Structure 1
Amino acid sequence: MQHTAAAWLFEIALGLRVFGPDLVRGCRRLLTAGVRIGITQLTGARTPAHSIEPDQEAQ
């Protein structure tokens, strides 16, 4: 079965029309999950600085 250029374009356009919104939605979900993970790592990785003064006062 041979396809002409018009048939290929039609099939590609139909595929984009059908699966395009799902692909965009999936990419957005992956990007938001990546941003959440990045923010969590940035804020969660910080530990409060321990000052030396309270340890010296306890002695």
Structure 2
Amino acid sequence: MQLDAAAWLVETALALRVFGPDVIRGGRRLLTAGVRFGITQLTGARTPARTNEPQQEAS
């Protein structure tokens, strides 16, 4: 039984070591996106919509 617990502990530590930085980086990106979205909603600012039509030059 003790060997199984030790093996589980080593596997868990290895998984945290391997995938931990990616999980933290992904969490930070999600938080950053949420902050940007929240600021846009609070200020009421809207980004201009993209159009597929070419802009006509004023003559």
Report the count of equivalent residues. Answer: 43
CA distance in 1, matches of 2:27, 2:40: 20
TM-score (norm 2): 0.69
Structure 1 residue identity aligned to 2:5: A
Highest RCO, 1 vs 2 (Cα 8 Å, sep ≥ 6): 2
2:51 maps to what in 1? none
Q: How does 1:5-16 map to 2 (within 5 A)?
A: 5-16=5-16
In 1: Cα distance, 2:44 partner to 2:21 partner: 34
The aligned residue for residue 44 of structure 2 is 44
Using the alignment, how far apart are the partners of 1:22 and 1:44 within structure 2?
33
Amino acid of the residue matched to residue 33 of structure 1? A
Give the gaps of 5 or more residues in structure 1.
Answer: 46-59
Identity of aligned residues (%): 79
Q: TM-score under structure 1 normalisation?
A: 0.69
Which blocks of at least 5 consecutive residues in structure 2 are unaligned?
46-59
- RMSD, aligned CA: 1.3
Whichever structure has more helix as a proportion of its residues is 1
Larger radius of gyration: 1
- The alpha-carbon deviation at position 44 of structure 1 amounts to 1.3
Question: Counterparts of 1:30 and 1:5 in 2: how far apart (Å)?
Answer: 34
